[in-house]
Structure 1
Amino acid sequence: MGSKRLCRARSLTSFHVSLCFLLLMVLGAFPLQVLGAETSIVIGLTGDAESLDPHVTAISTTGSYQANIFETLIYRGPNLEEKPGLAVSWEPEGENAWIFHLRKGVKFHNGEPFNAQVAKWALDRAKTHPKSLTKGQLAQVKEVQVVDDYTIRLVTYGPSPDIPRNMFNVYIVPMRYLQEVGDEVFGRKPVGTGPYKFVEWIKDQHVKLERWEEYWGPKPPIKYVTYRPIPEDATRVAALLRGEIDVAEAVPVVDIPRIERSPNARVIRKPGLRLIYLAFDTKRKFGGPPPEGSPGIPEGQPNPFLDKRVRQAIYYGVNEDELLQYVMEGSGQAAAQMIPPPVFGYIPDLERYPYDPEKAKKLLAEAGYPQGFSVRLDTPNDRYINDEELAVAIAGQLKKIGLNVTVNAQPRAIFFPKLMRQYENSFHLSGWAGSIGAYNLLALVGCFDKKTGFGRANYGQYCNPELDEVIKTINRTIDPKERMKYFRKAAEIIHEEVPKIPLHYQELIVGISNKFDMDVRVDEQIWAKEIKPRE
């Protein structure tokens, strides 16, 4: 019998009256959270997970799913703070090693214990798995040694000052469970040590998580978490305004006033790390079908991007101020380099090429293209803020210097597999968010090396041995002033060679229900464990 029905009964004793009063107060007057009832949240992301195996994916959206299930030795705070994770402390040992003291009493969601042997196995897997996209974080690690049950030693090839920050992105996975079920099952039904355990993944619909009550650390206040992939910006914002989701990732600038007018939601804005850039195929000699040919260039035609004068001309032909003002509606910060301002290695006085279409035409003529040429510009249309609109605007700007640019915009589910696994591009727009300066360079412009992870995101296949040596020197230089000298040298080489054209650093714009509070993470990920009900 419901409380209101009980209280409408015609014959009530004094006991019943008191009971009715209490029931009405409890069920009607007080919010459920006051009573300690469990909370739930629905988070709308721009896409689904590629895999829930954290070693074989590197898309920040996928990281939002994984970061609640898995943990790293060192926890990365919302503003890149270093905090103890599965390691309680760490220190260098001489010049060629780091010691990590591991947390005791931790177990995986399946009951498997965490210890030094498991940590070593997980790091070895991240470094050697043929599909690992985290091996670049361990490029300086020669060997992982077990010192005792709760201590490991990372032996490096030389001084490696970035080892602690590299641990931000290397998740610890369960040895026994992975050996039992294999990679494929693990990627669909993961087990970790994090504050949330996996419940269900229905592709393109949702990922469901539940708070793990045996978690070693403070338990998050929200018990039930549902992540929903909603690629369409308008649909994601509408879902927030209707109360169907509580958090909306990557709100378009145009929708900010609409959300701010709502009594039920608000917008949080913050400068981000993500660099949006243009990149070129600098390896294949002629246009044609991949992998031998460069697919965005007419078949049989020479690849113009092999000449740095052409790459420089395009840089001069892009009006970034105009892009920021009209396409991005004032959101974002013009970029001149691969490293964002908050990250060590950023060069404050390095400037973009100025917009100069006449100089661009002159360089094209010098390179043998006085009448320009035709090329396809590949871009995702549901990954970055106004990504397709940016590509279309850039194509229009480059028409003024004589280039005939056809925009090929595709959903991320099609664009990235072609880009990342097949190098199916000649000229593309993409993005990168990295919190470690040396790793940004290593991944974005290093010569591709499957074993070390160099060039992991270098999909134009640019290769400059001189630049690689500078990056390696950065990796092994301890003194901050000396490191900055090499960061500057690397930046100057990239500025001259133009393997990529930096456009801007994206602003982070998140829509959130007034029922919740969160600190927007500069790495763009949305971790449910960092969200709390609003007081």
Structure 2
Amino acid sequence: MIRKRLALWRLPVVAIGAAVAIGAAGCGGDPGTDASGPAQIRALLNAQPATLDPIAGARSAQVVWATMVEPLVNTDADLEPDRTGIITDWKRSSPTEWTFTMRPGLKFSNGEPADAAAVVNTLELTRDSETSILKTYFANVESIEAPDDTTVVVKTKRPQYDLVNLLTTVYLVPPKYYKDKGPEGFSAAPVGTGPYVFDDAKPGREISVKVNADYWGEKPKNTGVTFTWATEASQRLALLQSKSVDIAMDLPPSQAEQARKSGLEVVETESAMKITAFLESTKPPFDKPELREAAALAINRDEIVQGIFDGKAAADAGMLNVKPGTQPQEKVTADPAKARKLVGSAAPSVNLTYPSAQYTNIKEVAEAIGASLEEVGFKVKFRPLDYGTLVKEVGGRQLDGLYLFAAVPNAAAPDFFASGFMKTASITGNCPDPKIDGLVAEALEQKDATAAEKVYDELNTLAVVKKHCYVPLYKQMYAYGLGKGVKGAVYGPLNTFDFTKTTR
């Protein structure tokens, strides 16, 4: 069984943002509202969102699009589905049939009805679009129908216990607008049912949203959010200290400490995003099982957490322990001496690919892993890429060797990693194995999450401990800096943000 340990995360009062250079127009001074009234929140991201299309986009960008476009199902404080969102109820009428009830009378901000037909369209896009980031998770869905405006019936080919969990990461898009604009056009000006609507974008500089006056839920306490981005942590800190932004995302330990010393509030939260080393088992050198094992034994996740993050991350040895505060039943422990014996005198060459600016201190992490591999006999070539290129190369099966990628459980269910990264037909496809495919299917066919847990333990042991296709490293501990007087933005471990109560 996955064993609980003391949870290291809490829901903080923070916010996140998007980017401009220091001193750029619009970053400093009075935002143009009465000091006693609602203000525009200035939020600073660590990278420019690759796309604001929730059908095709990696979930790292949902912090921006989720202000405008909402998930079908909301989650509660325990990361479990609740009935407070677009979908307000569900019933499993048979092992392969689910009936969902929608909130009546919803409209998209452009006036289109946000009804059951829109849900059907979004789910079909998610299942069928070649560019869908969630395509693999919905391959088991056989049919989606809307018998009336507020009812959606989903039938699956085989039992699938976690369907409701998956709908927490499916964002509702307006059928006509999405078809007319296409993915690129939608990304340029998203339309949804959310508390904010698209306002403006300055290409390469910022994205702004403003309050949706017709929002069905509680209205925001601010006038909107302007997202800017800065890839350098020192620049994010400087922008926060100079009052150019209200919230700075992703401050590494040294910058977080500097922010505290300057009198700013910093909130740290363990997220569910798992930084993982993926080994490509279908190509040299890691088509040889003994070299995969050697690489797994060479990497010391505890040293990375202590040496690079000063303990401000959570070392994690499993792929399927999704929620913060959990660990796998079995794990691989670093053993460089055994790794050297497995490598021998062959000195195999390894490409080590990583996103150069996407995750906190990722360059240092890559360099530490490369050094560990070289110490046991590998020859390492570093390949830093921008995040968008890395995603394309992962999806296009263009990579070999080892690459660093964030496994993000946008739904708090083990299958999000199992189907997303372990199946032959998955996002990464780096460890094809009929036995793994069989275990993934077997887990989904269980009655519920409790019944599936034993299967997931077996699956994690096979893929991580025995086959060494994955080297889980750590769950990211995010640090956010807040400007003086900023409060009310809520961050959740699944990389979700609620800006609606943010004030300054």
Which TM-score tier does this pair reach, normalised by the shorter chain? 0.7 to 0.9
Q: Tell whether the 8 Å contact from 1:360 to 1:401 is kept in structure 2 after alignment.
A: yes
Higher mean alpha-carbon deviation, 516-525 vs 186-195, is at 516-525
* Residues 86-113 of structure 1 deviation map (CA, whole Å, 9 limit, x = unaligned): 1121121122111111111211111111
Write the distance in 2 (CA, Å) between the matches of 1:277 and 1:157.
Answer: 31
Q: Are 2:230 and 1:230 aligned?
A: yes
3-state SS, counterpart of residue 492 of structure 2: coil
3-state SS, counterpart of residue 69 of structure 1: coil
Q: Are 2:440 and 1:490 aligned?
A: no
3-state SS, counterpart of residue 394 of structure 1: helix
* Residues 199-233 of structure 1 deviation map (CA, whole Å, 9 limit, x = unaligned): 12223211110100001111111112101121111
3-state SS, counterpart of residue 191 of structure 2: coil
Instruction: Classify 1:471/1:410 alpha carbon distance in 2 versus 1 (closer, same or farther; 3 Å).
Output: same
Q: Tell whether the 8 Å contact from 2:393 to 2:399 is kept in structure 1 after alignment.
A: yes
Q: Are 2:390 and 1:415 aligned?
A: yes
Mapping of 1:434-453 within 5 angstroms? 434=409, 435-448=412-425
Q: Are 2:290 and 1:319 aligned?
A: no
Write the distance in 1 (CA, Å) between the matches of 2:496 and 2:245.
Answer: 17
Structure with greater proportional helix content: 1
Write the distance in 2 (CA, Å) between the matches of 1:198 and 1:228.
Answer: 15
Write the distance in 2 (CA, Å) between the matches of 1:358 and 1:52.
Answer: 47
Letter in 1 for 2:251: V
Instruction: Classify 1:81/1:241 alpha carbon distance in 2 versus 1 (closer, same or farther; 3 Å).
Output: farther
Write the distance in 2 (CA, Å) between the matches of 1:119 and 1:158.
Answer: 21
How many angstroms does 1:33 deviate by? 5.9
Q: Tell whether the 8 Å contact from 1:259 to 1:511 is kept in structure 2 after alignment.
A: yes
Q: Tell whether the 8 Å contact from 1:79 to 1:522 is kept in structure 2 after alignment.
A: no
Mapping of 1:326-365 within 5 angstroms? 326-340=307-321, 342=323, 348-351=328-331, 353-365=332-344
Q: Tell whether the 8 Å contact from 1:137 to 1:167 is kept in structure 2 after alignment.
A: no
Mapping of 1:265-276 within 5 angstroms? 265-276=264-275
Write the distance in 2 (CA, Å) between the matches of 1:417 and 1:528.
Answer: 30
* Residues 124-178 of structure 1 deviation map (CA, whole Å, 9 limit, x = unaligned): 1111111111223323321111121211111122322211110011111101222
Write the distance in 1 (CA, Å) between the matches of 2:324 and 2:305.
Answer: 22
Task: Tell me what 1:506 maps to.
Answer: 476
Letter in 1 for 2:357: D
Task: Tell me what 1:470 maps to.
Answer: 439
Name the % identity. 24
Q: Tell whether the 8 Å contact from 1:508 to 1:524 is kept in structure 2 after alignment.
A: no
Letter in 2 for 1:410: L
Q: Are 2:165 and 1:184 aligned?
A: no
Task: Tell me what 1:403 maps to.
Answer: 378
Q: Are 2:99 and 1:99 aligned?
A: yes
Q: Tell whether the 8 Å contact from 1:78 to 1:519 is kept in structure 2 after alignment.
A: no
3-state SS, counterpart of residue 63 of structure 1: helix
How many angstroms does 1:343 deviate by? 6.8
Mapping of 1:188-227 within 5 angstroms? 188-227=188-227
Q: Tell whether the 8 Å contact from 1:197 to 1:211 is kept in structure 2 after alignment.
A: yes
Q: Tell whether the 8 Å contact from 1:52 to 1:66 is kept in structure 2 after alignment.
A: yes
Write the distance in 2 (CA, Å) between the matches of 1:91 and 1:161.
Answer: 12
Instruction: Classify 1:502/1:245 alpha carbon distance in 2 versus 1 (closer, same or farther; 3 Å).
Output: same
3-state SS, counterpart of residue 99 of structure 2: strand
How many angstroms does 1:194 deviate by? 0.7
Instruction: Classify 1:525/1:321 alpha carbon distance in 2 versus 1 (closer, same or farther; 3 Å).
Output: same
Q: Tell whether the 8 Å contact from 2:69 to 2:172 is kept in structure 1 after alignment.
A: yes
Identify the structure with bigger relative contact order (alpha carbons < 8 Å, sequence gap 6+): 2
Q: Tell whether the 8 Å contact from 1:136 to 1:443 is kept in structure 2 after alignment.
A: yes
How many angstroms does 1:238 deviate by? 1.1
Letter in 1 for 2:427: R
Write the distance in 2 (CA, Å) between the matches of 1:316 and 1:280.
Answer: 13
Write the distance in 1 (CA, Å) between the matches of 2:230 and 2:80.
Answer: 30
Aligned counterpart for 2:497 among listed residues 512, 516, 526: 526
How many angstroms does 1:347 deviate by? 5.5
Task: Tell me what 1:429 maps to.
Answer: 404
Q: Tell whether the 8 Å contact from 2:137 to 2:420 is kept in structure 1 after alignment.
A: no
Q: Are 2:69 and 1:90 aligned?
A: no
3-state SS, counterpart of residue 358 of structure 2: coil
Q: Tell whether the 8 Å contact from 1:48 to 1:203 is kept in structure 2 after alignment.
A: no
* Residues 499-522 of structure 1 deviation map (CA, whole Å, 9 limit, x = unaligned): 111111111211122322233210
3-state SS, counterpart of residue 143 of structure 2: strand
3-state SS, counterpart of residue 507 of structure 1: strand
How many angstroms does 1:78 deviate by? 6.0
Residue correspondences, number: 467
Instruction: Report the TM-score when normalising by structure 1.
Output: 0.83
Q: Are 2:172 and 1:154 aligned?
A: no
Instruction: Classify 1:41/1:103 alpha carbon distance in 2 versus 1 (closer, same or farther; 3 Å).
Output: same
Q: Tell whether the 8 Å contact from 1:78 to 1:523 is kept in structure 2 after alignment.
A: no
Q: Tell whether the 8 Å contact from 2:394 to 2:428 is kept in structure 1 after alignment.
A: no
Letter in 1 for 2:395: M
Letter in 1 for 2:293: Q
3-state SS, counterpart of residue 478 of structure 1: coil
3-state SS, counterpart of residue 223 of structure 2: strand
Write the distance in 2 (CA, Å) between the matches of 1:525 and 1:218.
Answer: 18
Aligned counterpart for 1:390 among listed residues 346, 362, 365: 365
* Residues 36-65 of structure 1 deviation map (CA, whole Å, 9 limit, x = unaligned): x331101111111222211011231x1111
Q: Tell whether the 8 Å contact from 2:109 to 2:193 is kept in structure 1 after alignment.
A: yes
How many angstroms does 1:283 deviate by? 1.7
3-state SS, counterpart of residue 240 of structure 1: helix
Instruction: Classify 1:230/1:421 alpha carbon distance in 2 versus 1 (closer, same or farther; 3 Å).
Output: farther
Letter in 2 for 1:65: V
Q: Are 2:348 and 1:379 aligned?
A: no
Task: Tell me what 1:248 maps to.
Answer: 248
Task: Tell me what 1:23 maps to.
Answer: none
Instruction: Report the TM-score when normalising by structure 2.
Output: 0.88
Q: CA RMSD in A?
A: 2.0
Letter in 2 for 1:241: Q
Write the distance in 2 (CA, Å) between the matches of 1:137 and 1:244.
Answer: 41
